[in-house]
Structure 1
């Protein structure tokens, strides 16, 4: 072979490929069904990926292989000491997540003279009693990154590991002095040195200590790490074994910039003291920029000591990020935030027990320099709050003495207390991201007028799942920069069709989510000012038509109208959608609506067949014919063709029909004029009844009755309903514990169940009045009765309750309609009469 025609030959399990024709996949001779992949290949650089291939041996590699990832396989041992021969070009090797128990440490890696990164994570090598780490790494003079951690078998995790000093009489797995040149070291805690060698100084800059549960240390002392004076990043993962960290352990690391201790859930009852312990230890680490103490609380200790302080960190003038995630913290007192340095920019306090009032007034007010706060999921509390804090907002004109915050991003979800919007005069000129979702205690269920007046640069706002029923007129007046607004899973249907008036100033909005709000109508001009809108979601409402003009929304790409009651789109809707589709792609979702396949909707069906607009999952839509039969639209062309033939009358029939129609119209006009007074009287007398009959005729129900009750009354409401109504009287009831859809939001389940039920029975008790979800079910039931125009609610008083204790909506029902009292003596006759009355109400037209 001449030098001008030189080819690189790569051999994989006996299969040879010339370099110009190397394929992206190959198979070993023993594992032909599990091909490895070449992820990158040049003339002298071959990167091989063999992850998740069920391999039990190392495949044969080319001498030019530079990287091998063979993690997540079934390799239990490497008995061939020559498997890595002639692989001096290999610089990265990953053997992690294999059930590896045996390595021939005397010569296994000695050929890999240029190896730079070696990863052996989560193996069973702790079983190899004669393993000597120094011998295993012999010859790896260029190694800079090493990961060597253990993983106990699941059956062994049930037993508590022993102290390393009790389990091993000497240094476990031999000396580790060959690691001194490693710059990035991830090591199992069982491999830490018992004693130091003054002649060996590690060059390690990044140290990650992982608890593999082989053995543990109950303390960290300065002397244990004297041989590592250059550590800049220190990570402790799953350190359940620590009871105490000495005060000088961390402060002795003069170069330390990042310290992370990550649980989860230290089992020691002293675990919560570790926060005080660590923050004390770092108080002189002046180069520290990032401190994370996550998931190290335990409930057993917190039940005794719920409030505890963080040591003063003011002297850490380089600290920019502080994380205290998942510790059940509940700061107490106005000086809680005084312990943070003015250099602190980012505070992460997810999964704790803090109130929005405390965050606003105990942290933010004394840390105006903070730029981001992530306080999501503030319901991790051992003890329930006994008092609910309230804060009154007073009008205050902005002036030079008002607080100006540097905050750019705030996440506060699942607050345990009433949501606190802060003071009206607080000014947030840099705030662009605000997530207040999943807070079901918004004051008066209202977004206040001053909401945007001090947050005019907001770009993202999420207030979904917050029971919002009202938006004040000026709430969004100064939100002209808002780009994303999520108000889904609220009760904005109470605003009726005027919701567009509240959103008129959102001229920069790109994404709007109003799904699951029980909205029953839309306004033509809703999107007129939103010329940048790209996505709008109004799914899972009760819209019967889409009345919003999109003529000005030329950037619109996605409309979600699924799970409504829409039967067709108007001609104007279709024309505007087609206009937008000419300039950019647009999609619409109409799934799970009550679409009709009739002569009146023929044009709409024809449009769906030919339009350039993308109809999401169109073939899965269901359509109802005029005779009541239902079909899917997977053969839409045939349906349109059939309707065309059925809906076009013959010429003769058309002439006859027009003549007959003319005669009928003339006769009707004469009769109406002659009997106009009698007709008018009859019309006003019968209008209400006719309306009820029409609604009942067109509405289809899944259940005969929806049962609303407190969980504490399940014996009467649930058990007797199933026995008396379902088993004995054949009535199909909706009971939330049995019939709600798993995985969906509770609010969505309630809304859908009530819409799908013919009647609603409320079992009223003191427990019912004290339940937030029962109150939510009552609100939805009242809205359903108001919307349908028929009587759907019956009240059953489980116990005597004074009228003054009832809500206004419930009091109106009790005062207006006859209600039932649950029999107190519970005789068989009274019980039978009671349930017969319930059945009569459910079955009445």
Structure 2
């Protein structure tokens, strides 16, 4: 039964590979659930959602889920439609919830379901529609509920049901749930720990030809009657703790009704010894019998009453207070192969067991055997497994195991062995598994295991080993696994590492929980594992004083090492050459170290182990995972870095791990801001890597968000909405184009006017900063278009300068050469008492004329003096003056000069013009017009 221990080395690697075979799915946004592929479903998912405080079935489960475990939550009700997205489900575990109600047809969406576990809930009744639609169901567990009622026809449609467990409910009468016994192919039925007081074959409607296993244990039976052959194929019957008083009514009409039963459990019954013996007489073909915890009985007497003693293969006598065994009580058990007498009070064996030559397993756990004699196991040549743990054995003589040539497994843990001496000098030579855990060994002498050439597994855990002689392990040429964990071994333990040379095939070495430590990373003169070229697993975790430093060549010689456990060593940094000697490393555990320095782990450290699949870095004070970016871990599938000080996980880190399937980062100091937005979105929607327990990640910073869920952080606020920005920009451009077009078409000249007025303002300020005028150089600045220059020279200048003695400023004559035109205009206007504008159609079209009149207008506004004189040389309708809005107002509001028409007298014109240049008039109205305060617009 325990031969599997002999292959722990192979099993370890099998499990190791299992734990990392995480395969991408089409949906990973499952919050706290874990997804993985079990080996027996190559294309379907197993989803585990245990202990997540769910209050209802999560709705985000992948449709290709085959195995769903949602146990240990707070679900109270199963509603119709909860499983509508899971038509492929085969195994469903909803145990340990608070389910009290399952609505009709709630499970009908699971046509392929084969195994349903509803144990440890609060279900009170099984109705006809509770299990409807589950035509393929083969295993049903309803144990540990509050069942009182099972309606007729509840199991009528479950033709494939093979296994039903109704243990630990409130069922009272077998006659009231006959539907269970009508299941056509039922093989195993568990009815233990209910309230049945009567078991009568007459209450069962028909024979259960397929039933092989029936458990009625822990029911307060006062009657057990079988008057018909209702169990023609029954092989296992459990009646443990069913009979607790002397009023039991036991009747088996024909012993042939129970002659198919091979396994019988009558443990923990408290009826009279004689009646229990009579019960045993009813079973004629039993080969496996348990008579545990019959403290008021003489077990030897009971065995003599068993009518099937010669057929017994396995006998359990646990916890009966047995003080001694006698040959007379065992001599008829000639075919016994397994004897379990654990938890009794045996002090010695003598030669009692010599009458059991076919014995293959002997369990003597937890008795009071302090000493073994050479004859105790004589004649047990077929013995394969011997369990002597927990007896207080102090010494073992060389003769004890001399006859056990076929012994395969020997358990001696939890005794008081001080030394081995010559215990294994003569064998057992075929022993493959030896457990010496929990003794008081302090020294391993030379040749302690010399005769154990077949030994494959040796456990020396939890002793007080301080000294190991150089030839202590000599002879262990086939040893594959040794555990020296939890001893007092130090790096100075004499010759400990030299002794490893004798174990050339060693694959697993456990040195955890010792006192190894190194003062620096300097190379060791004699690397400890240099001779273990076949070693695949090395455990050095949890040294009591901390390893402190890991020498750069500590792992030299371990070229086949697959797994290295180096957690809880208080190491502060690792030398870049640490893993140079382990190119095949597959699994690395660096949990619970002190990598607080940002350079404690570097990318170069991992370059020699590019094939690493699993990396554990939890509880190591890491502040960043940036060292993974250039680490070349292209094969890493599983990364665990929980309980650190990580704040940010950026895209570069994840992209540097292309094969990552599983990521665990809970209990870190995440920052809930836009720096983490990529990781938050990626963790929720990516379909390549499973982020375990994402819904448990909490924000630590900023303090205002401390304690909030990282996955709940609103990432949308961190993104620039380029679509919206493009919409705003395009809309603005369209609106601006329309406005500009409108202004150009309708307000073109008003803008031109404003532009020149602004230039006038700038030049006026410049002029005032550069000079202050005390007197005028000219009487008038003449603003005219070049087309009117003949009239100016022939008419205007002779009249005003020649006849009236006025000094005029003319641009072609008085502008300073080389000076900017605008400056000349400003100087001319501000150095003249008045500005005379000669208005013609050409004037209105001239840019420079427009500029001149605007400067004059600004001076009119600024100085509040009558400095502007308008002279119209041509008839111009007022509507044509609209581009010069202010001029139009001036024309409308006051008198202006007009050049007489041909034939008219011009003397009055010249006289008025001379007076306009020389006189000062009321400027209030002009100032009001130019400032825009006049509301009378044309």
2:218 aligned partner: 151
Question: Could you tell me which of 195, 219, 242 is aligned with 1:190?
Answer: 242
Question: Which residue pairs with 2:206 in the alignment?
Answer: 139
Do the aligned partners of 1:81 and 1:104 also contact (CA within 8 Å) in 2? no
The DSSP-based 3-state class of the residue aligned with 1:475 is: helix
Distance 1:590 1:461, change over 3 A: same
Task: Give the match for residue 371 of structure 1.
Answer: 408
Aligned-residue offset at 1:480? 1.8
Q: Give CA-to-partner distance per residue, 1:299-355, whole Å, 9 cap, x none.
A: xxxxxxx723265323433221111222233234443333x5100011122332223
Question: SS at the partner of 2:124?
Answer: coil
* Counterpart residue number, 2:582: 553
Q: Describe the shift of the 1:535–1:35 C-alpha distance in structure 2 as closer, same or farther (beyond 3 A).
A: farther
Match among 416, 431, 436 for residue 407 of structure 1: 431
Counterpart mapping for 1:309-324 below 5 A: 309=349, 312-324=352-364
Counterpart pick for 2:607 among 565, 568, 578: 578
Determine the C-alpha separation between the residues in 1 that align with 2:458 and 2:93: 50
> Kindly tell me: are residues 404 and 88 of structure 1, through their superposed partners in 2, closer, same or farther at Cα, counting changes over 3 Å?
closer
Match of 1:532 in 2: 560
3-state SS of paired residue (1:313): helix
* CA shift for structure 1 position 36: 5.3
**Shift of residue 375 of structure 1?**
2.3
Matched, 1:437 2:470: no
Mapped partners of 1:521, 1:13: distance in 2: 58
Question: 1:520 maps to what in 2?
Answer: 548
Q: How far apart are the structure 2 equivalents of 1:16 and 1:527? A: 54
CA contact (8 A) 2:446 2:469 kept: no
Give the whole-Å Cα distance in 2 for the aligned partners of 1:316 and 1:514.
44
Aligned to 1:293: 341
Name the SS for the 2:317 alignment partner: strand
2:392 pairs with one of 347, 353, 356: 353
Is 1:118 the counterpart of 2:142? The answer is no
In 1, the alpha carbon distance for the partners of 2:529 and 2:643 equals: 34
Change (3 A) 1:196 1:119: closer
Residues 246-255 or 456-465, more deviating: 246-255
Say if 2:507 is the partner of 1:451.
Answer: no
Q: Distance in 2 between matches of 1:419 and 1:197?
A: 65
Distance of aligned partners of 1:327 and 1:250 in 2 relative to their CA distance in 1, 3 Å threshold: farther
CA deviations on 1:226-264 (whole Å, 9 max, x unpaired) are: 33222122233544453333253458432222222344x
* Structure 1 pair 189–478 and aligned structure 2 pair: CA distance change class (3 A): same
Greater Cα radius of gyration, structure 1 or 2: 2
Tell me the SS of whatever aligns to 1:477. helix
Asked if the contact 1:234–1:258 (Cα under 8 Å) also holds between the matched residues in 2, the reply is yes
Are the equivalent residues in 1 in contact too, given 2:100–2:121 (CA < 8 A)?
no
| Structure 2: gaps of 5 or more residues | 1-77, 648-666, 677-938
Counterpart contact for 2:240–2:268, Cα < 8 Å = yes
2:383 aligned residue: 344
Q: Secondary structure at the match of 2:392?
A: coil
Q: Which residue of 1 aligns with 2:288?
A: 233
Q: CA deviation at 1:575?
A: 1.9
Match of 1:104, SS state, is: helix
Q: Could you say which residue in structure 2 is the equivalent of 1:97?
A: 168
Q: 1:281 to 1:639 in 2, by over 3 A?
A: same
The match for 1:207 is: 263
Report the alpha carbon displacement of residue 178 of structure 1 after superposing the two structures with TM.
4.2
**Maintained 8 Å contact 1:466/1:489:** yes
Native 8 Å contact 1:468 1:490 kept in 2 = yes
List alignment gaps of at least 5 residues for structure 1: 1-11, 153-160, 298-305, 380-387, 598-603, 625-630, 641-845
Distance 1:637 1:350, change over 3 A: farther
Deviation of the 1:535 alpha carbon: 1.8
Q: Relative to 1, partners in 2 of residues 1:147 and 1:546: Cα closer, same or farther, differing over 3 Å? A: same
8 Å contact from structure 1 (residues 250, 285) kept in 2: no
Alpha-carbon spacing, 1:367–1:413, altered in 2? closer, same or farther (3 Å)? same
Structure 1 residue 410: Cα displacement: 0.6
Q: In 2, Cα distance between the equivalents of 1:33 and 1:62?
A: 8
In structure 1, distance between residues paired with 2:140 and 2:625: 54
d(CA) in 2 for partners of 1:205, 1:172: 16
Q: How far off its partner does 1:291 sit?
A: 1.7
CA contact (8 A) 1:190 1:216 kept: no
1:467 maps to which of 472, 488, 505: 488
Q: Distance in 1 between matches of 2:253 and 2:525?
A: 73
Which secondary structure does the structure 1 equivalent of 2:341 belong to?
A: strand
Cross-structure match for 1:711: none
Other structure's SS at 1:248 match: helix
Residues 121 and 283 (structure 1 numbering): CA distance in 2 closer, same or farther, change over 3 Å? same
Q: 2:103 aligns with which of 17, 32, 54?
A: 32
CA offset at residue 180 of structure 1?
Answer: 6.0
Aligned residues of 2:312 and 2:336 also touching (Cα < 8 A) = yes
- Residue-by-residue CA offset, 1:62-117 (whole Å, 9 max, x unaligned): 59466352422534423644545566665443322223233435955564454333
Q: How far, CA to CA, are the matches of 1:562 and 1:22 in structure 2?
A: 38
Deviations 1:422-476 (A, max 9, x none): 8547321211101110112x3xx11221222111211111111112231415311
Q: Which runs of structure 2 are paired with 1:790-805 in the superposition (5 Å)?
A: none
Higher helix share: 1
d(CA) in 2 for partners of 1:21, 1:522: 53
Residue 144 to residue 253, structure 1, CA distance change in 2 (3 Å) = farther
Once the two structures are TM-superposed, the CA of residue 506 in structure 1 deviates from its matched residue by 0.9
Inter-CA distance 244–504: structure 2 relative to 1 (3 Å threshold): same
Query: Counterpart in 1 of 2:332?
Result: 284
Change (3 A) 1:314 1:80: same
Match of residue 370, structure 2, among 330, 336, 357? 330
Q: Deviations over 1:345-370 (max 9, x none)?
A: 11122332223x32x63533442431
Q: Distance in 1 between matches of 2:274 and 2:527?
A: 62
Q: For residues 244 and 571 of structure 1, what CA distance do their matches in structure 2 show?
A: 66
State the Cα RMSD in Å.
4.7
Task: Give the conservation status (yes or no) of the 8 Å contact 1:251–1:283.
Answer: no
**3-state secondary structure, aligned to 2:123:** coil
What is the alpha-carbon distance in structure 2 between the residues aligned to residue 310 and residue 134 of structure 1? 47
- Give the match's secondary structure for 1:55: coil
* Aligned mates of 2:109, 2:444 — CA distance in 1: 56
Counterpart of 1:493? 517
Are the equivalent residues in 1 in contact too, given 2:341–2:365 (CA < 8 A)? yes
Cα gap change, 1:425 to 1:552, in 2 (>3 Å):
closer
- Find the aligned partners of 2:263 and 2:80 in 1 and give their Cα distance: 41
- The alpha-carbon distance between structure 1 residues 23 and 535, as it changes in their structure 2 partners (threshold 3 A), is closer
8 Å CA contact 1:476, 1:505 repeated in 2? yes
- For the residue of structure 2 that corresponds to 1:528, the secondary structure is coil
Report the 3-state secondary structure (helix = DSSP H, G, I; strand = E; otherwise coil) of the residue aligned with 1:294. Answer: coil
Q: How many residues align?
A: 556
C-alpha contact 1:432 1:457 (8 A) present in aligned 2: yes
Note if contact 2:617-2:642 (Cα within 8 Å) is conserved in structure 1. no
Deviation at 1:224, TM superposition (A): 3.8
